[in-house]
Structure 1
Amino acid sequence: MSTADRRTRIADAAVSVIAEHGLRALTHRALDNALDLPPGSVSYYFRTRAALLTAVADRITERSRTDFEAAGFGLDHADTEPSTAEVAHGIAAWLDRLLLDRRADLLTRHALIVDGHADQEIRDRLAGSLFSAERAQELFSAWDIEDQRAAEDFVAVLEGAVFDRFAGPRRALAPGTADSVEQLAGLVGSYLHGLRAR
């Protein structure tokens, strides 16, 4: 296994430990145990806790970017302009997969963002790790909407939608269901309809 692969495996294990046991449970020794490695192995790859948390932030960001690139959002038909409903449903399906498959990333990200003891640079990295205003602007450009503030507002809508579903009042609505996608599509669609009507 290459050094890069080992570092990735450690970062993934760190995400799991934080999501399952909380931020205080994350130690080099806990990761050695979780990965069944000899004592001191994780310290060899990540000398400090800050280095380990930076790797966690980078890993969550990397997965988010990969997910985003793989999602079509209804924009994969270059010949025709996508409808608001198509894009809203595509984004809703993507958010639903995020809630279903990456719950550990969501829990870990929020634990680190709200932790007052976490390094501010790491918190700033994580703040932009799930959604990107620049990428939202790329979506809007397909509709000839060049409004950076609208893109930033849309990111805020997505952040709120995800938090609502994994930790807020709608957390009982199970992801991976038609009802889940429909709820998210309605919320996303409302914003996009309003944006296009301006």
Structure 2
Amino acid sequence: MPTDRRTLLADAAVTVLAEAGIRGLTHRAVDRAANLPPGTTSAYFRTRQALLTALVRHLVALDQAELAEAAARAPAPRDAGELAAEIAGLAARRLTGDGRRRSLARYACAIESVHHPELREILVPRENRARRTVCDFLAAHGAVDPEERTVTLLTCVDGLVFDRLVNGGSVCVEEVRRLVVAALR
């Protein structure tokens, strides 16, 4: 099925990007990573830009699914500690295993989007249940401008994830709790 093959290729492209960086992302490298005959990737994605666009769309879809699942799995947080634990758990998942691979690819795509505005459009943060949970929590606890505070809080957590990917280490609940408390001030 074409859809399955496209998904397989996009997922292989994520792996190539995470392991080899943006310069290593070639049709041939994706063919090898997907264990498919040479020329398969270029048959589905004629240009490197088409491949990169498919990869970014795939990353966003995976992220949205992960965030929807996280929001559905957890009850609404009652206090800053519970919210911090949920956010820290998500951050920790982005530093290990498949989450790490996707995070490395996502940051490489974010840098590439500086030169390709069409990628930036795809990467723009989306509204989702997890983001709404954070905003609703901040609003219920008296944060001034909860929408803006949500963006700031989640951007700070994203920065922690980026720092830990580059410099090693993990994101701890206490770090995130301090960010949540700062967002409430």
- Answer yes or no: same fold by TM over 0.5: yes
**1:47 match: secondary structure:** coil
Within 1, Cα distance between the matches of 2:30 and 2:18?
13
**1:99 match: secondary structure:** coil
TM-score calculated relative to the size of structure 2: 0.83
Match of 1:189 among 164, 172, 177: 177
Give the percent of matched residue pairs that are identical in Structure 1 and Structure 2. Answer: 32
Task: Give structure 1 stretches of 5+ with no counterpart.
Answer: 174-179
From the superposition, tell whether residues 82 and 48 of structure 1 become closer, same or farther in structure 2 (CA, over 3 Å): same
Within 1, Cα distance between the matches of 2:19 and 2:103?
12
**One-letter code of the match for 2:49?**
A
- 1:162 match: 161
1:32–1:41 CA contact under 8 A, matched in 2: yes
**2:36 match: secondary structure:** coil
Deviation digits for residues 72-98 of structure 1, max 9, x if unmatched? 499515xxx611101111111111011
Instruction: Give 4+ residue runs of structure 1 displaced > 4 Å after superposition.
Output: 72-75, 131-135
- 1:176 match: none
Within 1, Cα distance between the matches of 2:114 and 2:177?
37
Pick which of 100-109 and 133-142 moved more.
133-142
- 2:13 match: 14
- 1:177 match: none
Task: Report the CA distance between 1:134 and its aligned residue.
Answer: 8.2
Deviation digits for residues 35-91 of structure 1, max 9, x if unmatched? 2323321122112111111111111111111111121499515xxx61110111111
- 1:96 match: 92
TM-score calculated relative to the size of structure 1: 0.78
